[in-house]
Chain A
């Protein structure tokens, strides 16, 4: 048996944004916020000709919540062709070895971690994968993408559209109304929604041209297929919050951010967050944010022009409107 290729642990990153690239070969799960099941996804494209072995060691540190590892291989159409799970014991190293028997072709290999249900909300959840490698008589064609991990990406949820049933939940229809009615009445040229998902809010927003960005590739695929996407001038891109400045957009006179600026999504770095927003908002532009009060502290260094708090599902929502200080209206 020859060692075919070693997935360099140093190549593994948690976030696609260079700046937030995390450290190699470790999957981190952030302490889950209440009702958020923390999870992480590593993925890599591979091309194989024959059977091979996947091998790694898994560990859950002693202060971690119980977590399950889900390994899967998807073909180019996105069908899962192989899936297997491992559940290491907390505080112990578990060896994982799997023989993979596959047709020749291109596959996407992913490792997901899932905190098991019933874990206390305040428990830490993080895991570590040691030296993942593919071994076998098989050959690998083409270059191997670096393993990536998108921290707490909700991508897996977007197997179907509207994964949180917004369209069927009165509280969500109400919060959409509240958000739409708090937007200052004026003509907007360019609108950006950060965290657009599959478009629950997006197509109701004003603006001659709509731009939607979401970290989930699948969500972006869904939104592009909606019929409204053919009726409005719009564009959609997959990318993380911290990648936005590199996406080189022209500035926006309306930016909407709902349910994104939580520490478990964007980290705790207020200055970096304000820099991203500052790089996107046009002079005199409007920013509307909407978040669950207990999950974040507000951190927007702009002029708050309106705000509202209301009950949403089992939470309280904080809806806020900002503009910049530099405008001078005569």
Chain B
């Protein structure tokens, strides 16, 4: 797969621009793949990916390069030779945008880029005489001197249109060429490229996020809203309600109606209990990765992003777990109950003298061989760890075990069967410590008032419709 980008910027006036957050998410989706230069690229290898930029625009230097550096990916820069440091006057009606200059190209080369050729002027090649064609297709000497091999070994057809008349010249001067029409997997002079847009989904891996609920109507709105605010959204969200007797349904339905393509609700007619409920939830979802979030908890905006990155980075890891922030009225009590062990750390990071509210940061250890060997004694993978469906099925899923928490037993079996675990060293899960009657119910109440107002409006419409019928 050869990916082609044009402009990366926080603001995106047309579909040729991709915002910085989306670009980061797309690079994240490549974790675990082999990002290579065109020189090493083998189209038959499904793990091979080439990242390429056309133009190359200044905004790429400004916004994309720092992220590429951070990920350690190499990339190809297809430059239009006549316009280095100038603007895309020829690109009507695209908004004008500046191209990178020589110094910026040098910086990009230092960051892992290779400079390649995308013609002199980007004008269509058809109808040009031999002299003009050569001027378009060949790199002028001063640029060849500035960027000697391994630069300028590849050519990108303008507008992606392969052209036979140019083919011979290109074969004589380059190692290969890329195009978006007339693609060949065998001929390096006709390698195909994928134009990337905001909506382009680069990875096929899917993540299912499950929120099991039982009588947490006061909290679940907050949990769902923190999931909907994720920088990388889950591919599906399942809310499974285990026969709640409170007003949970009202709130869950509100979100299910508002986000019909993303969020689904399942209502058990009788209470199944934790293990059967979890097993049912898994069977109703399809994601390659699965994660459960308690209906009374919340997640930070990058929870999904960071767990996906960790699991994709380590294909031999079954499970990824993050650090936790304890909040809520019983945070202090819970923090004091945590066994003092050197592998874990707990510290108070917030206190409000007026309300008595406190928060504790609970850091989890790296999964050392000693810890794994001792896992039946000390659990270090919590219930909101993200895991692979393959691993889940391989060890027989959640099971009822006397005296052992269902998640602990599951992760223990995964690690015992040879899978690895990854620690994500960021406090991405906000773990509420409460008893129901002590709860700070403001947010939950607001959500249910909002849901009730909607329900009220709906019923009013119904009543007036019925009254109309009765009146006539």
Contacts and interface: CB of A to CB of B under 8 A. Distances in A.
Contacts of A9: 87, 96
A9 B95 CA distance: 12
A307 B95 CA distance: 40
Contacts of B300: 301, 304
Interface string B352-390: 111101010100000000000000000000000000000
B253 to A, nearest CB: 17
Nearest to A59: B93
Interface string A221-262: 000000000000000000000000000000000000000000
Contacts of A62: 93
A124 B14 contact: yes
A126 B14 contact: yes
A313 interface: no
Interface in B1-27: 9-14, 19-22, 24
B97 interface: yes
B113 interface: no
B234 interface: no
B298 interface: yes
Given A23-B87, A297-B229, A316-B450, A268 B22 contact: yes
Interface string B70-105: 000000000000000001000001011110000000
A150 B372 CA distance: 56
A309 B349 CA distance: 24
Nearest to A322: B350
Interface residues of A, number: 56
Contacts of A272: 10, 20
B442 interface: yes
Contacts of B447: 309
Interface in A295-329: 297-301, 303-311, 316, 318, 323-329
Interface string B297-332: 010111000000000000000000000010100000
Interface in A53-81: 59, 61-63
A20 interface: yes
B293 to A, nearest CB: 15
B96 A24 contact: yes
A31 to B, nearest CB: 9
A309 B427 contact: no
Contacts of A148: none
Given A299-B231, A309-B446, A327 B349 contact: yes
A309 B297 CA distance: 16
B258 to A, nearest CB: 10
B325 A309 contact: no
Contacts of B169: none
B450 A30 contact: no
Contacts of B14: 61, 63, 124, 126
Interface string A171-191: 000000000000011100000
A212 B325 CA distance: 32
B348 A329 contact: yes
B327 A305 contact: yes
A326 B58 CA distance: 36
B22 A298 contact: no
B427 A303 contact: yes
Contacts of B301: 270, 297-301
A328 B19 contact: no
B273 to A, nearest CB: 31
Contact of A269 (B20, B97, B357, B442): B20
A128 interface: yes
B446 A26 contact: no
A26 B96 contact: yes
A58 to B, nearest CB: 12
Contacts of B11: 14, 20, 22, 28, 30, 151, 267-268
A293 B228 CA distance: 10
Contacts of B96: 9, 23-26, 128
Contacts of B93: 59, 61-62, 128
B354 A305 contact: no
A300 B230 CA distance: 11
Given A61-B93, A62-B93, A297-B301, 12 more contacts: A9-B87, A23-B58, A185-B353, A268-B20, A269-B19, A270-B20, A303-B350, A304-B325, A305-B359, A309-B225, A309-B446, A328-B348
6 contacts: A151-B11, A266-B10, A267-B9, A267-B19, A268-B22, A270-B231
Top 5 closest A-B pairs, CB basis? A267-B10, A185-B354, A268-B19, A26-B95, A269-B20
